[in-house]
Structures are given as structure tokens and as C-alpha cells.
Chains A and B, each alone.
Chain A
Amino acid sequence: MRILVSWLIRAQFRSRRTATLLSMLAIALGVALGYSIHLINEAALADFSRAMKTVQGEPDAVIAARDSAGSVPLQRLDEISRDPEVLVAAPVIETRVRIGSLRTPFRLIGIDVFSAAAMMPGLLPRESERPDRVGILDGGIHASPALLAELGVQAGASLTLLRGDRRWSATIAGDVPAAGPDDLLLVADIAWVQEHFGPPDAVSEIRVRLAPDTDAAGWRTRVAALLPPGLLLRVAADDSERASNLSRAYRVNLNVLALVALLTGAFLVFATQLTAVAQRSTEFALLGVLGLPPRMRLLQVLLEGLAIGLPGALLGLGLGYALALAFTQLLGADLGGGYFSGSAPVIVPQVAPACGFLLLGCAASLAGAAYPAYLNLRQPLVEALSNGFSARPQVVRNRRRQLVLPLSLSLLAGALLQLPALFGLPLAAYAAIALVLLIGIAGAPLVTQQVFRWVADWQLPAPQRIALQNVAQAPLMAQVAAAGLIVSFALTASMVIMVSSFRVAVDHWLDHVLPAPLYVRSKASPLPQDLLTALDGADTPFVRVERSAHGALTLDPQRPPVALLVREIERSNPAARLPFSGALIAPPADLPVVWISEATHEIYRMAPGQTLRLPLLGREVEVFVGGVWRDYARQFGALVISRDDYQRLGGDFRPSDLALWPRPGQEAAAGEWLAPHALAHGLEVAESAAIRQLSLSIFDKSFAVTYALEAAAMLIGVFGLAVTLTASVWLRARELATLAALGFDRRMLRRALMLEGALIAIVGLLIGLVCGIAIGAVLTHVVNPQAFHWRMPLTVPWLTLLAGAAATLLAAVFASQQAARQATRLPLAQVLASSQ
């Protein structure tokens, strides 16, 4: 039996080389995309935890402040150190400083050399051999090898460190040999850092190693319960969870693309196998008569599907690996997403995920082959032997029954859309998308029959009418051809709709969040006091200045922190500055109010009108939630609090960003006024138009891959149409020969076939458009909010879609012309003679 199977598979590949290869490639592409995303992400996470290990060591617990402006009091360190179960408690102060004229700030980590030796060997400094070296305890600082290379200096060199408007000179005493090739950091003695940068009487973190026999979990629970609300206790697992949360949503997009490729692959297998089954129905019937077990008719087609899927998936794994290598070399671990820093991570393939993706590719091809295999099993042997394939033309009588499948699938899809995200991924929504496609395909017979019967009633020349009636009677091949276009056009249209809705929404949003003509930002350190003082003066070229400070709050140790924006905003009229998406609720006069972004609202289930306790300023503060605003910039959440409220709570308002309104006609003067400040303090100055343009161009760039894949999907769809049309011509060779014998000339036949192709394309595009809008709505209203917590109104770019449809229709007509040409090349006389 195995020999027979392999003979048939080989014969199948021989006679349908292009279609088979293309299906294989599409499957390979899907697997490759999915696998490379997985590999890159794994590598990035591994890299992240390696970097974490260098900087942080492997503590059993870390105690830190929830508020980025907060710190851990030294008194806490004393308590922890005295705990008999604690082996080492290493204090750390971490801050960011600029070096010389470089704009990007670098990490400066202050360590206690003795506790660090036990806890964080990766950060241990090595003094240079130079005779004039300054020891770390005497104020010498150490730079990681990567930073030395970046700065182009060596031990002994003198650096200027800047933070705000203060500057210090320091000498490089040596390097940090164990730091990784991506770690750009400075290490100094903790007392030195505290003296120069603060915080006084406090540290950023305490890293704890417990005594060997301690019940670590129990210790953590006990200590966490005793911590004040402003502090939190983290474990290493939280860090990797947080890192994976960082990139999770970004992966969603790429996964959708992989899914698109896999689905088109599955469809191509479907089209190839269905035409193969139809063309070989007589052969299979013969084998059945000769004694081929019935289940083999099913298995054979499935195996042929697998014979496409398995090599395709294997190829995909190789391609995925190569893609992962290429992408990480070119773009870094986050594919340009900006989530992970550093250079190319090391890609290490592992067996289990590779097998998983292999199975996925095989599953896609099997899914494509399933229905053809079923049809093949159901062929009545005797009839198939003498009359060939019977697609069991669905008689119009049971139209009600034809409606049952699409309707029940719609219900199922609707139910799936109600489900929340699983593991942070919109898996149910993906399933719903696949269902929408299935509904389109399952509903295609109804529409095809309707259209063809309607057209058959036209006053057409006889040959056209006869050809069309044929299709209306036995619409299977027409359905297959249409199905290809449905799948590819629906997916393309949906992506176009999603991207354009998103772009329109971002555009509006930028209008709202960039009200000032000019912006100034200081990266990761407060603005220099002299600039702020100068801005308060009377003779500035600005009519209005708004300041804001940016911090971060860790509400859940497993999630990236929420941005805390302190802004000069009116408590009574926040809508002047924030794009609210719902109603605003007036706060009680005695409570500070925060306005939360949609992501905060969804991730932390905070709602307007609630009174919450937030870990602000090192303690727990009661705040009122005044409203939810739209934020496309910070997908992990943001809170806005007015400067007045913040200061009333005792917060120290140290702005890092400025929004500036130059006096009318003084725009140039404004730029000149700012220039010396910007130069002296490494500030970024940008006009709102430039920010806007940059934002949109980043947006467009991040969707470039999407456009490429859409084009590929459309090509595959049109190719599928050509394959199936040719096959349907082949299947109807006897009919066509009979028509020719009755006196229809080749030109008439060709016209009839082209009309048929165009009609099928129109049906496919119509259904595809409807499904595409449905999927676009799912992507926009379910996938985006679940994955990114970004909500936006649906915008359908009709012009683009119709232009795409028109182009596809043209391509389809061209494809059917090619098919028609093949048909008229059929040796009709011979076909007629060979049939009984």
C-alpha cells in the first residue's frame, strides 16, 4: 500500500507542479513568519534575562519603590540586613546621567562593593593597571567594555556627567569585565552616587539573598505584608514575565500576518487538492473497483496534502531560522518595535517549538485537504468511473439547508468575539476571523448560484448562455475559484481597513495631543533650572508655557509600569488637553483627581467615578478617577494628574517636558531663544508638525511588511482563480467539445469562459469585501483593544478598496483569458472521440 501511495503522490506532483509548489511556498511562508517571530522573541527574552542577571545577579527578592520618583529608606536596609534568614542584602542606587555632549542618557549604578561581590558578580569593577588610578571608594567610576567602546575612551580618561543643570567630573578607574556586549553602563560606589545624585538616606533597591535553608516563598510573603504601600517586593520571575508582556502585543500583529500566510497556504492546498480530486475521479474510481480500501481514498488525498504541508513546513522552519537571523542582525530583537534595547541576540532553536510549528504547517495543509478528501471518499464508484467527477451539484431546493451552515457559523463567531483575551493574546478573535472566512466560503454557493442563474436569464448569445448555465448547475469549481478570491481579498481588505482606521485615529489623536506649536524634552532627567527660571521671565518670545513631568508607577510587578504624567492642566477642564473617550466626572473637591488612559482602564479595571488608593510618592494616596482618555503612545497604561494636585500631595514637581506657544510672528526668535539651552543641556526641540510627521512615518514603516504580504495574498488569490478556471475547463472538456461539435467556434467559447471568469471574480470580490469589512471590524474593535488596549472608530477606505477590487478583477479577467486560451487549445475532436 505504501508503494501505491508514493506512486500516486509522485504522479500528483508531476502533473500539478506549479500549484503544488505554490501551496508549499505559502505554507512555508506562514510557518517561517510564525517561527521567526517566536525565535526572535525567545532570543530577546533570553537576552533580557541574561542582561538582568548581569546587572541584578540572582536575588531571591528585590525590594523597590512603586513610584519611579520614590526610593527605599536606608532604615529598611538595616531591618532587612538584621533579619537572620537574610544572607546578603545588597543596596543599589540606579540613575541616569548624560555623558559630555551625548544626548542619550546612560545607566549609572551605585553598588556597595562588598555586598555586590556576593550578589551581583556581573557588576564587579576591575581596576586598571595604571599607576595614577583612583579607587572606586575614592570616587573612581567604572564603565562597561561596551560603553568604553561607544565613548572611544580608556581607563584614566576623565568624563563629564550631567543631570539636569548639574555637572560632575569623574575619572574612569577601570572597567566592568563581566558586563555583556550590549550593556552600556557605569558603575560607581553607592555612597559616591548618593552624595552626587541622591536620594539622601535612601536607595533605589535592596536585593536580597536568603540563607540556604530558608523557605523563600514564606519569607517573601511575610516581608511583603510588612512593606509600606509605596514599596513592592519582586522576584526574578516577575522580571521575565514583564519582559514578555512588553513585546506580547507587538507580536500579535506579526502573528496575524503569519496566520494570513498559513490560511492562504491552506486555501491553495484546498484548491489544488480539489481540482486534483476532480481530475482524477475516474482514476480513484478505478482503484476503488480494483479493491483500494475506501478509507484509502480519503487518506490518499490527506497524505497528498501532507506531502505538500510537511516539506512546506520544513522549508518554513529553515526559512524562519534564516529570517530570524537576518532580522535580528538588521533590526535588533524587537524588529524595530523599540521594546528591547541592544544589538543582535543569539538565536537558539529548540526542539519543542520547532515541532509545534512543523505541526502547525501540517495542520494547515491537512485542513485544506480535508474537504476534497471527503468528497473523494463520497464519490459513487460506478458513476465516477464512467462519467467522471460529480460535485453533487447542490440543488436549489434545499436552499434553507444551505443557510444553516453560514448562520450557525456566524453565531459561533459572535460568541467567540465575546470572549476575553487568552494569555494576553486575542486567540478567540483569531478563531472568529477564521470562521468569518469559512462563512464566506460556505455562503459562496448561494451567491454563485444566484448570480449565475440571474445572468443566465439575460438575453445573451447562445454559447455564453450555455456555458453560464453549466456553471449555475454545477458550481463547485466556480465556488473553489471564488473561495480563493474571498480568502485573499477579505484578508487584504481587512488589513487595509484596520491600518487605515488606525492611521486616521492616530492622526486625529495627534491633533489633540499636540496643541502647542513647539515642544522641548529632556531625556530621562529633569529640565535645567536656569531654563525654567528664564521661561518665567517677562521677556520670553512665548505667550504660553506648559510644563509636565514624567514618572512611572509599578502597580503590578508582572507588568510594565504605568506612566505617571504630572501636567499643568486645569482640574476643571482637562478636556482642553486630553482626548477623552467617555464622559468626564467632576471630582469631589477634597480629593486629587487622575485621568486614566484606555489601557489603564482595561488592564487594571479602573473606571471613572471610582475612588482608588494609588501607591504615589512612597505612600498610598486616595485619588478620584475623573475620566478615560485615548492614548496611542503608552500601551501599558498612563495616569495624568494635575500639577496642583501633585504638589498638594507633597510631590516635588520637576518638569522634563515643555509645550511652548511662541508669540505670533516670533517663531524664529523662539527657536533662537531655545538653541543655547538645547545645546548646553542636550535637550530635544521639535515643532509639532515634525513630531506629527515622524510619528506617522514610524507608523507607516511598521506596517510596510503588512502591505507586502497583502500583495502576496492577492497574487495567490488570482493564481488560485487561474488554476481552478483551467481545471474547470479541463473538467468540462467533454461538454466544450460537444458544444464545438455543435458548431460553436473557438472565439465564442473563449468569450463565454472569460465572462465566466469575470463573474466568478465579481462574486468572490463581493463576498470578500463583505467578509473583509467584518474581519476589519474584528481587528479594529476586538483584536486591537485586546492586544494593545487601543480603541478606535472603524474607517473604511472605500476608494482604496474599490481600486484594489478593480485591479483584482482585471487580473482575474486576464487569468481567465489564459485559461480560455488553454481550453481552445484542447484537441476537441480527440476529447469527443475518447468519450463514450
Chain B
Amino acid sequence: MLRVSGLARRHREASRALFTDLGFAIAAGEIVALVGESGIGKSTLLNCIAGLDTPDRGSIEIGAPAVDIVRLGEAARAALRARNIGFVFQAFHVLPTLTVAQNIGVPLLLAGVPPAEHASRTQTLLTRVGLPGFGDRWPASLSGGELQRVAIARALVHRPGLILADEPTGNLDPRTASQVLALLLERVRDQQASALIVTHSQHVAESCDRILTLTPQGLQ
């Protein structure tokens, strides 16, 4: 569950505000696509929601019972991300010094899931994203599509209520992209999570429950 209201953000050296009064909500289990021109502020919005950027005004309530991440301190934001948010990036961002299984295990460690459950949860997700037996491999030996599957597994393994994906298929070729995206949507639906997915692909947007378009005038 996510409720954004009255959000305003203007970067310090920017000539204009990215948004001045943004409001929308995503229900539990709902998957929403966010589209808009490059540089319009989609990543900034996602960063605000994840507590990585602080809006100038407005509130962002996450989960039930709702917590306004804007009002939280840095440590509490990190804790909220660790418990309740899964993130997928355009540039994969898999830790090269950890094995695939360790990469997927990181959110479990951060969320404080009992260690006894780690192995089984990691294995289950590896199988679900189509990478059974990849656990002990190093990221350097994986292809882009495989890396993004690892990233998806990592975003879901701690069963967060909210998934944020910033152009998750932007670095993949079209065929792999659609496979990975289908996988992401499927898994998010499995877990009954809410999701906000930034994408440039019309095809992707159409497979979501709803489409939000960010324009200089606001959301449409």
C-alpha cells in the first residue's frame, strides 16, 4: 500500500520544480506503471518514495499501518526499506564480491529473518526466477538477463509490501527484456505486493494494472 500526497520537489540547482503537488495511491497487490519523458522526474519520485531523496513538501505513506517515510530519520528510512521495500534498478547492481546466493541473502540479513530460513528462501526464489543451481556462482560469470533475474530475486526475497523498479529492462535486449519483465510481474503477483514500475516500453506499461504518466503539469 502506498499513498503519496501533496509532493513537491525541486533540485537545488534546477531552474524549475520537477513536481509541485503530486498525489496518487497504489492499493495492496496493485501493479502500476510510471511513464514519462526522460528527465521529467520519474527516478526522483521513486527515490523520494524509497526515502533516498527528501521532497520539499508532501507525505509518502507506506504499508499498513501507514508510515510516512518523509518524516523518518535516515536510520529509520533504511530500516523501513530493509523490511518493506524491494528495489530493482536499470543497472542491475549486483555485488560482485558476493556469490549469487549471498547477493539474494543480503535483504534477509538486513530484515533480520532467522538464519535457518535463509537457504530455503534463497533456493526457492532462485528456482522461481529460473536460475536453479546458480547459487554458488560469482556475478561476473552471469549475463545481463541473468543478473537482472538475480536482482529481482533479491528484491522479493524478504517479501516486501512495495516493489519499486526503475527501468528494470532498460539495459536488456528486447527479447530478454520481455522475459524478465513477465517474470517480475508474475512474482510480484505471487507475493500480493504493490509495485511501481518505471518504464519506457508501451508493451510493459500495458501489462500493468494501471498507467501513470508524469508530465511537467503533474500526473495524468
A295 at the A/B interface (Cβ < 8 Å)? yes
Given the known interface contacts A3-B109, A11-B98, A286-B95, the answer about A293 and B79 at a Cβ–Cβ threshold of 8 Å is yes
Task: For B90, list chain A residues within 8 Å (CB).
Answer: 836
Contact indicator per residue, chain A 460-485, by CB within 8 Å of chain B (1) or not (0)? 00000000000000000000000000
Task: For B19, list chain A residues within 8 Å (CB).
Answer: none
Question: Is A836 touching B91 in the complex (CB atoms < 8 A)?
Answer: yes
Question: Is A287 close to B, CB under 8 A?
Answer: yes
Instruction: Flag whether B116 is at the interface (Cβ < 8 A).
Output: no
With A14-B97, A386-B91 already in contact, the answer to whether A4 and B53 are too (CB < 8 A) is no
With the chains together, A381 CA to B51 CA distance in Å? Answer: 10
Contacts of A8 in B (CB 8 A): 97
> In the complex where A14-B97, A382-B47 touch, is A290 in contact with B79 (Cβ < 8 A)?
no
Q: Does A385 contact B (CB under 8 A)?
A: yes
Q: CB of A283 within 8 A of chain B?
A: yes
With a CB–CB cut-off of 8 A, which chain B residues contact A11?
Answer: 97-98
State which of A4, A286, A292 has its C-beta within 8 Å of the C-beta of B78. A292
Further 4 A-B residue pairs, CB within 8 A, beyond A4-B110, A8-B97, A385-B89: A3-B115, A283-B97, A286-B95, A290-B106
Contacts A290-B106, A295-B75: A382 and B53 contacting too (C-beta < 8 A)? Answer: yes
Does B81 contact A290, Cβ atoms closer than 8 Å? yes
Q: Does A7 contact B (CB under 8 A)?
A: yes
Q: Does A181 contact B (CB under 8 A)?
A: no
A363 to chain B, nearest CB (A): 27
Complex interface bits, A1-26 against B, C-beta within 8 A gives 1, otherwise 0:
10110011001101100000000000
Do A291 and B47 touch (CB < 8 A)?
no
Q: Which residues of A contact B156 (CB under 8 A)?
A: none
Asked if B52 and A292 make an inter-chain contact with CB atoms under 8 angstroms apart, the answer reads: no
Whether A294 sits at the interface, judged by CB under 8 Å, is yes
A289 CB within 8 Å of chain B: yes
- Chain B: interface residue total (CB-CB under 8 A): 31
Which chain B residues lie closer than 8 Å to A287 at the CB level? Answer: 95, 106, 110
Cβ-neighbour of B111 out of A15, A282, A291, A385 (below 8 A): A291
The interface residues of chain B lying within 8 Å CB-to-CB of A289 are 50, 52, 81, 87
Q: A288 on the interface (CB 8 Å rule)?
A: yes
Measured between beta carbons, the chain B residues less than 8 angstroms from A293 are 75, 78-79, 82
Scan A293-313; emit 1 where CB is below 8 A from any B CB, else 0.
Answer: 111000000000000000000
Chain B residue contacts of A3, Cβ below 8 A? 109, 115
Residues of A within 8 A of B74 (CB): 294
In the bound assembly, the distance between CA atoms of A295 and B79 in angstroms comes to 12
CB <8 Å contact, B97 and A4: no
A contact patch SS: helix
A3-B115, A836-B90 known; A291+B107 contact, CB < 8 A: yes
B93: A residues at CB distance < 8 A? 282, 286, 385
Contact digits for A372-397, partner B, Cβ 8 Å, 1 yes 0 no? 00000000011001100000000000
CB < 8 Å: which of A14, A291, A381 contacts B83?
Answer: A291
A293 to B115, CA, bound (A): 19
**B98 with A291: CB separation less than 8 A:** no
B residues 97-154 near A (Cβ < 8 Å) are: 97-98, 102, 106-107, 109-111, 115, 154
Cβ distance B35 to chain A, nearest Cβ, rounded Å:
20
- What's the least CB distance linking A15 to chain B, in Å? 6
| Residues of chain B within 8 A of A7, CB atoms compared | 98, 102
Q: Which of A4, A283, A290 has the most CB of B within 10 A?
A: A290
Contacts of B98 in A (CB 8 A): 7, 11
26 contacts across the A-B interface (CB closer than 8 A): A1-B109, A8-B97, A11-B98, A12-B97, A15-B97, A283-B96, A287-B106, A288-B78, A289-B50, A289-B81, A289-B87, A290-B82, A290-B110, A291-B80, A291-B82, A291-B83, A292-B82, A292-B110, A293-B78, A293-B79, A294-B75, A294-B78, A382-B47, A385-B89, A836-B91, A836-B171
- B residues less than 8 Å from A291 (CB atoms): 78-83, 85, 107, 110-111
How far is A14 from B98 in the complex, measured between Cα atoms in Å? 11
| CB-CB nearest in chain A for B47 | A382
Nearest 9 A/B pairs, CB to CB: A291-B82, A11-B97, A291-B81, A291-B110, A4-B109, A286-B93, A294-B74, A293-B78, A291-B78
Q: How far is the CA of A15 from the CA of B95 in the complex (A)?
A: 13
